[in-house]
Structure 1
Amino acid sequence: MSDQGSAGNVIAAICNVFFPGLGQLVQGRLLPALIFAIVCVGGYALWWLIIPAIIAGVFHLYAIIDAATYKNNS
């Protein structure tokens, strides 16, 4: 992936809309992908407790923004 707003980042952000962490995986970032997926899926699974679902929703939104604004520093 190259700069912020590139086509690859837009595709990664769209992937994150459907499954949190998938966009980071598309970008080749395994650890953030696992963290976003575990937190979001776990929080959504505990939806009846309200607070974990809210935290998962915030993490899901952050995963989308993170994929869209990612800059490769190498």
Structure 2
Amino acid sequence: MADQGSGGNVIAAICNIFFPGLGQLVQGRILAALVFAIIVFGGYALWFLVIPPIIGAIFHLWAIIDAARFRTYR
């Protein structure tokens, strides 16, 4: 992947909109993808409680922003 704001990061951020963690997986960050997916889907699965869906929504937004701002360090 290229630097922040590149086309690859935009595609990764768009992937995260539809499936949390998919953008990180596209970027090759498997652990981050798993963490985001588990927290977001776990939070959304507990929709009948108040706090978990809010946490899930925050992490969903964080996953999108994280994929868009990712920078490789050389």
Q: TM-score band (shorter)? A: over 0.9
Q: Report how far residue 50 of structure 1 moved.
A: 1.4
For structure 1, the residue ranges without an aligned partner over 5 or more in a row are none
Partner of 1:33 in structure 2? Answer: 33
Consecutive aligned runs of 4 or more in structure 1 exceeding 3 Å deviation = none
Map residues 51-70 of structure 1 onto 2, 5 A cutoff. Answer: 51-70=51-70
Partner of 2:23 in structure 1? Answer: 23
Q: Distance in 2 between matches of 1:21 and 1:4?
A: 18
For structure 2, the residue ranges without an aligned partner over 5 or more in a row are none
Measured on the aligned residues, the alpha-carbon RMSD in Å equals 0.5
Q: TM-score, normalising length from structure 2?
A: 0.98
Report the number of matched residues. Answer: 74
Partner of 1:49 in structure 2? Answer: 49
| Identity fraction in percent | 70
Amino acid at match of 2:59: F
Q: TM-score, normalising length from structure 1?
A: 0.98
